[in-house]
Amino acid sequence: MAEAALRDLSALLDAAPGSAGHSPSWDGGATVPVLPALRPVLPGGGLRPGSVVGLGGSGSASLGLALVAGVSRHGGADGAGGWCGVVGVPDFGVLAAAGMGAAPERLLLADDPGERWPDVVAALAEAVDLVLLRPPERPGAAAVRRLSALARKHGCVLALTGPFAGEWAGVRLRLRLDEAVWEGLGDGHGRLAGRRVRVTAEGRDAPGAGRSARLWLPAADGTVAPDETARPPLELVPGAVAAGAPVHTARPAAPRPPLAAARRDAREPVRASASAPGPGEGAA
């Protein structure tokens, strides 16, 4: 089966216009494009060519779809669309990716590459802009070194998903999808209308301590869009709050008696005033 997968892949690469035998155009400075909604999360607004990206969280499959859609829609040497390979993901949702903007005619799928999956990925890395890979097993050190080097050489992004994605050494950027909430369902009625999620970038290639964004993934129309209802985080405003605006300050505390006087007063009995009548005395 592995030999058949390699033969089929070679035939597809030979028949694919503008992909077979050609490395993606990369001048060393441009980034591999992503969908506009994901750009605020990534350093430079895109993926570093030749990098290895790990996908994690409960919705990592949706992240893979979104990355494939971004490259397929906005990649390529002229920005009119790039090529993507999907290896070891038999449940890859082509219709869902198309709804996000992918061009199915520029997707090369190897659902079951077998034990020679490194050879399939190596062949694709020389011809496409991005490879979405679900390793079927714990990747060996030799395969990791070989495929990472080929990705760097040809400027191909290697996106890893699945249970063994975290076993790949040298991953400098990880994208995580969490806090997913589906909208549209009521108490026993309704239809799914969209899913709100948070996407976070982590790792040495992530900006600062990591950057996150609230997104619809997918939105009601199947696309990926910013979640405009998400409130921005509160920030401290340096200096004056606004020109002429009052700044709330704490009320001044009432003066308190010295501690020694307060203790002395507490020990003394309460005395009646001199004008008060004593016991047995009546008022005049």
- Give me 227's structure tokens: 């979640």
Q: What is the pLDDT of residues 68-93, one digit of tens each?
A: 999 999 988 778 899 999 999 999 99
Residue 140 one-letter amino acid: G
* Rounded Cα distance, 150 and 125, in Å: 7
In order of their start, the domains of the chain are: 32-226 (3.40.50.300)
> Would the CA dihedral through 62, 68, 69, 71 be positive or negative?
positive
What is the structure's pLDDT at 22? 43
Contact present, 153 and 50 (Cβ < 8 Å): yes
Q: What is the pLDDT of residues 191-208, one digit of tens each?
A: 888 999 999 999 988 866
96 by Cβ neighbours in 10 Å (0-12 / 13-18 / 19+) ranks as middle
**What does pTM read for this prediction?**
0.74
DSSP string, 165-177: GGG-TT--EEEEE
Q: Per residue of the chain (284 residues), give pLDDT as tens.
A: 556 556 666 655 655 555 544 444 444 458 999 999 999 999 889 999 999 999 998 888 999 999 999 999 998 877 889 999 999 999 999 999 999 999 999 999 999 999 999 999 999 999 999 999 999 999 999 999 999 999 999 999 999 999 999 999 999 999 999 999 988 877 667 788 899 999 999 998 886 667 899 999 999 999 999 998 755 555 555 555 455 555 555 555 656 655 555 455 545 544 444 444 544 544 44
What is the structure's pLDDT at 136? 95
What is the structure's pLDDT at 284? 42
